[in-house]
Chain A
Amino acid sequence: MTEKQNSPAGQEKVGVYICHCGSNIAGTINVDEVSEWIKGNPNVEVSRNYEFMCSSTGQELIENDIKEKGLTRVVVASCSPHMHEKTFREATERGGLNPFLFEMANIREHDSWATNNKEAATAKAKALVNAAVERVVHHKPLEKIPVDIDPKTMVVGGGIAGITAALELAEAGHHVYLVEREGTIGGHMAQIDKTFPTLDCSACILTPKMVDVGQNENITLLSYSEVESVDGYIGNFNITVRKKARCVDEELCTSCGICEEKCPQKVVDNNYGAGLSYRKAIYRAFPQAVPGYPVLDKENCTYFQTGKCKVCEKVCPTNAINYEQEDQLLNFNVGNIILATGYDLFDARKIPQYGYGRLPNVFSSLEFERMVNASGPTGGHILLRDGETEPKTIAIVHCVGSRDQNHNEYCSKVCCMYSLKFAHLVHEHLPEAEVYNYYIDMRTPGKGYEEFYHRLLKEGTHFIRGRVAEITDADRKPGEEGKLIVQSENTLLGVQQRNPVDMVILSAGIEARHDSEKVSKLFKMGCDYDGFFNERHPKLAPVSTMTDGIFIAGACQGPKDIPDTVAQGGAAASQVAKLISQGTVMMEPVRASIREDECSGCRICNNLCPYNAIEYDEEKKVSHVVTALCQGCGTCVAACPSGVIDGAHFTNTQILAELEGILWDMPTEMTVMEEV
């Protein structure tokens, strides 16, 4: 490893520290061998290995060596930079060096955790450590960039997560824009009758919070609105929101509801009503809607479809109906964003053998929520689809679309509990009815949850362990006529069973919003394979994202129940509040810069920059980067045909040196340098 050195030997004094991470690294990688071997690199002044480099003793090793041995560069080979880059940069700084004269090699996630082969792992560790040493000698001292935090925040989604986050921030005195796609806030919680396991009335605990949102002066509520574009970065986001035309003048409307009452057009309410009830073409989802102004649904409005009707306009006492109203584009700045966009219910029609959409008395869980709700279409009575008959036997089918490789592999987490709640509500409303819960595994972790399961056992719910195979109306033998037959294996008995029932409730799972991928792109943050937004760290940063200044809360991050959702809404608000009280954050100085004297003025970079951070100087005929806007993504660096854009901390020299270092044992003619 000598003839290919591209940094003059001995010019820098690098200290190398290999972390054992207990047995996480040292159990697979021969750390002694690696630290001994790297001493062969002429730039290495000192090489050590230590059990826990992130401990204070570990950090002191770095500080002392800088002071005592005059180190000019530091390399730590340990875990992912996501975990401890900050820790070691600070140690480097305490030792008296610029923190950017440090480089981290990830020999845990990228190496020891990825294999059991000790020999191969040790060889790879050598390459990674050598790469870091080769790179770090080219590092330049850099200064972090201070950024002011705009104290205003945008919360996207007005379900219980968004409501909680918005109220927490508003009550702390910060201004919030709460953007909601539908005509009212409330989300799924507004559709639900009772909440498990305490059985308190969902509306009773939700509506006061909705009213608070409507009345809080620090909250600008933008309902029936969608985020159109997001520019900028932490502290300085510029937002455009499309406020859709609801054809109602909010200044004039008194929310009297007469337009809704008189509207002649009845439409199935597939949203709030879960398809089980009707609404009008001009409507409020429910009487406690916030805001109370109705929305005119143009697609179903007789006037918009045929040019005749205008009943709502005629009956409105304040002339608030405005058919000419157009969408408005609103533009504002915020410092932080909280996404609380919620979930979609799994569409049970995707499992045809369960008959949803074909067999009338198969209901989805949300349909049942609406039915059992006192304000629902049956006034809280549990009835068959004919709207008259009370069922005597009810089957509740768990895991519909969840724990199923054909649909969603994950467990939706809430279905076992809400299925228990359904069983309880049936016992309460129809004491004579028999209830059968078909489950694969009962999952009831949570405060009071297992106790609730025991309560249902005592109430006489039948629990059958077995995933339902099919639901049919084709009777096979006497007793099955006119019934829905639920066919499954009772796996605890090892026998196939057919159970004739009157009603089936499908406990459909939780899915990411159908457009979550689009939304994640709009906000330039990631979502996982299933479409749920990615948190920065599953344990330690559950409401942060990889994009600074953007936080997530609630079911948009993954299936969760109301308590967890509310906790996340609060957590996201407190993350934002922390940044607001800091007032300023220091940002990575990873920025692009253009060597203007060499720029040909081709302007290719101008349009490629996703942050509009590159301006063109008409006089000098060259482009230059607006440092405050640049996010250091590197697109322009790669695209520049003249190669005159540098990405600080990611210069060509640094990256090529790193590659040289990693390929130290390759024949010269195969190295990247040769090909370039």
Chain B
Amino acid sequence: MKYGYYPGCSLEKNARAYHVSTMAVAEPLGIEFVEVEDWNCCGATEMMAIEKIPAFALISRNLALAAKQNGSTNLVAPCSACYLNLKKADHYLAEDKGLRAKVDTALEAGGLSYQPGTINVQHLLETIAVDIGYDAVEERVVKPLYSLRVAPYYGCLVPRPATMQSFDDPEHPTSLDKILQRLGATVIDYPLKAQCCGGHMTQISEDTALELIRRLLKNAADCEADMIATLCPMCQLNLDAYQDAVNAHFGTDYQIPIVYFTQLMGLAFGIPAKELGFGKEFVSAQPALDKITEEAPKPVRTRGRGKQKAELPMPTQLEER
């Protein structure tokens, strides 16, 4: 299947491992990515804070270029912030006529135009979980990640906001959990899976940011996770690059590698680690990867249901959407 591809600034350099591993798993999954030519920055969380119309115009240039290049298409963004910005702009342009008129005029000044709804913006996780499907992922697995305890970490911008028909639950997303399970990994029920990594607070108030990062690391450590799997360059950067700052600030000693879920997919698909960008992370993933076993671990019963006679029945879980 053919998809438009919007890497975003982070994947060019700081999150190169994400880009490399995405490309590596695309082929076995039958995905052909066509990068939007001459795309520009989405403005992250900064542009919208300065000027509204330029912020929307900046994002819309990418939508216009994608539409011009590929026609009506799915556009995949692996970066959560890019995904949200692109999707939100498309949504608000369709909803708000006044805004759209202004953005149209601005795009016109650059000889471009964009009709809201032409481009279907997807996050890479959505592409893999929904379009490709869990079964197809499992079929490609040749080296299951047995015994590797992974905390699936979604962050904020993929599950939320839900105003725009999200593909997963805004509070308790499960799509990444399912992908990792299909890879053979032991997936942690990670309570903070959709909590904030601190975003740009590292630049604005380091104390605030370090506390947010600490919580995520602590909770993953409490759950005895070998690593955290992310799907966002900002989350990866904050949890990985600031891990030693957290340790210094709080007197802790967390050594939890933060990897992209595509890197784990690649490993399970039998692609060599060096072709997946491993080694770029500050907290090395190697010790965790060494824990992978050839045999599936014996299932551990987590709750001793029925062991104590007095135990009261639990309400059943709601059926997943």
Contact = CB atoms under 8 A, between A and B. Distances in A.
Interface of A: 268, 275-278, 347, 349-350, 352-353, 356-358, 360, 364, 367, 371, 377-378, 383, 385-388, 472-476
B1 interface: no
A11 B189 CA distance: 84
A600 B310 CA distance: 75
B191 to A, nearest CB: 4
A352 B309 CA distance: 28
B308 A278 contact: no
B315 interface: yes
Lowest 6 A-B CB distances belong to which pairs?
A387-B310, A474-B191, A352-B171, A349-B318, A357-B315, A352-B172
Contacts of B316: 357
A360 B219 contact: no
19 contacts: A277-B312, A278-B313, A349-B317, A349-B318, A357-B316, A357-B317, A358-B317, A360-B314, A371-B312, A383-B312, A385-B314, A386-B311, A387-B308, A387-B311, A388-B308, A388-B310, A473-B191, A474-B192, A474-B219
Contacts of A378: 312
B313 A347 contact: no
A474 to B, nearest CB: 4
Interface in B271-310: 308-310
Most buried by B among A277, A377, A476: A476
B46 interface: no
Contact of A347 (B171, B311, B312, B318): B318
Contacts of A358: 172, 317
A interface SS class: loop
A154 to B, nearest CB: 35
A377 B308 contact: no
Interface of B: 169, 171-172, 191-192, 215, 218-219, 222, 308-318
A475 B222 contact: yes
A472 B317 contact: no
Contacts of B171: 352-353
Given A476-B215, A476-B218, A276 B313 contact: yes
A386 B308 contact: yes
A377 B312 contact: yes
Most-contacted residue by chain A among B218, B310, B313 (CB, 10 A):
B313
A277 B192 contact: no
A386 B310 contact: yes
A41 to B, nearest CB: 44
A347 B319 CA distance: 12
Nearest to A347: B318
A19 to B, nearest CB: 43
Contacts of A386: 308, 310-312
Contacts of B192: 474
B115 to A, nearest CB: 31
Contacts of A356: 315
Given A473-B191, A476-B218, A276 B318 contact: no
Contacts of B312: 276-277, 371, 377-378, 383, 385-387
A477 to B, nearest CB: 9
A275 B313 CA distance: 7
A371 B312 CA distance: 10
Contacts of A388: 308, 310
A360 B317 CA distance: 11
Nearest to B215: A476
A277 B219 CA distance: 33
Contact of A357 (B169, B219, B222, B314): B314
Nearest to B220: A474
A481 to B, nearest CB: 9
Contact of B191 (A268, A371, A472): A472
A673 B222 CA distance: 79
Nearest to A357: B315
A385 B314 CA distance: 8
B207 to A, nearest CB: 15
Given A352-B171, A472-B191, A385 B318 contact: no
A388 B311 CA distance: 8
A377 B218 CA distance: 37
Given A385-B311, A474-B219, 14 more contacts: A275-B315, A278-B313, A349-B317, A349-B318, A353-B171, A357-B314, A378-B312, A385-B314, A386-B308, A386-B310, A387-B310, A473-B191, A474-B222, A476-B218
